[in-house]
Amino acid sequence: MQNSPDLNAPLQWDDVRHFLALAREGSLSGAARALKVEHSTVARRVDALEQALKLRLFDRLPRGWRLTPEGEALAQHAQRMEDEALAFGRAALGVATLSGTVRLSAPPVVASHFLVPRLGPLRQRWPDIRLEVVGEAREANLTRREADLALRLSRPSAPGLVARPLAEMGYGLFATPEWAARPATEWEFVGYDESLRQVPQQQWLDSLTAGRPTVLRSNDLGGLYQAARAGLGVTALPYFLGNRDDVLVRLPAYDCPTRRKLWLVLHPDLRRSPRVRAVADAIAELVMREAALLAGREGAAET
Give me the average pLDDT of each 10-residue run along the chain (303 residues): 52 84 90 88 90 89 88 87 74 64 94 93 83 91 88 88 94 96 95 91 92 94 96 96 95 87 90 86 93 82 47
CA–centroid distance for 169 within its chain: 17
- Provide the β-strand partners of residue 101: 130
pLDDT value of residue 302: 47
Phi, psi of 282 (to 5 degrees): -65, -40
pLDDT value of residue 149: 93
Q: Structural domains in the chain?
A: 13-93 (1.10.10.10), 96-169+260-295 (3.40.190.10), 171-255 (3.40.190.10)
Phi, psi of 188 (to 5 degrees): -120, 160
Cβ neighbors of 155 (< 8 A, separation 6 or more) are 163, 165, 261, 263
Helix axis angle, 69-94 relative to 13-25, nearest 10°?
Answer: 120
pLDDT value of residue 93: 58
Closest to 281 in 3D by CA, of 149, 133, 111 = 149
Please state, as a whole number, how many other Cβ atoms lie within 10 Å of the Cβ of residue 217: 18
Q: What gap in Å lies between CA 228 and CA 290, rounded to an integer?
A: 24
pLDDT value of residue 3: 55
pLDDT value of residue 98: 67
Q: Which amino acid is at 71?
A: G
Report pTM: 0.67
Q: Are 288 and 264 in contact (CB under 8 A)?
A: no
Q: What gap in Å lies between CA 119 and CA 131, rounded to an integer?
A: 10
- Provide the β-strand partners of residue 67: 58
Closest to 114 in 3D by CA, of 254, 287, 257 = 287
Burial of 233 (0-12, 13-18, 19+ CB in 10 A): buried
pLDDT value of residue 6: 52
